[in-house]
Amino acid sequence: MTRLLPRALMAPAVVTLFLWMIVPLAMTIYFSLVRYNLMQPGEKSFIGLANYEYFVTDPDFGPSVLNTLSLLGSVIAITVVLGVALALLVNEPFPAAASSACCSFRRSS
């Protein structure tokens, strides 16, 4: 009985979050498999993987993937470098360390 009550109380939130994630995913998969024209929303025809074939065979697909990967790599590298630099900076004692402790999660000494 003690394990059932917390699970029963969390169930509505878990179901809501699950639907919050699954419904957009299912709609994205559905719209990727049909031919959908925004000017004529009533006319939908199933075309299967033709949309994916169109994008993969497009000559701009390769460079766009490389641009995306380079942007992703640069953002991750900048974030790691600045994060480590900030961590090293905050780890050392500095003037006004006590007043800046309220803005971070470190203990003031």
Q: Which residue has the higher pLDDT, 107 or 24?
A: 24
By CB atoms closer than 10 A (0-12, 13-18, 19+), residue 69 is exposed
Mean per-residue pLDDT over the chain, rounded: 88
pLDDT value of position 102: 66
- pTM (global) more than 0.75: no
Please write the tens of the pLDDT for every residue from 65-109.
Answer: 999 999 999 999 999 999 999 888 878 777 766 666 666 665 555
pLDDT at position 11:
95
Percent of the chain predicted with pLDDT > 90: 64
Three-state DSSP state, 37: strand
Separation in Å, CA 18 to CA 3, 21, 22, 25 = 21, 5, 6, 11
pLDDT number for residue 101: 63
Strand partners, 35: 45
pLDDT value of position 90: 77
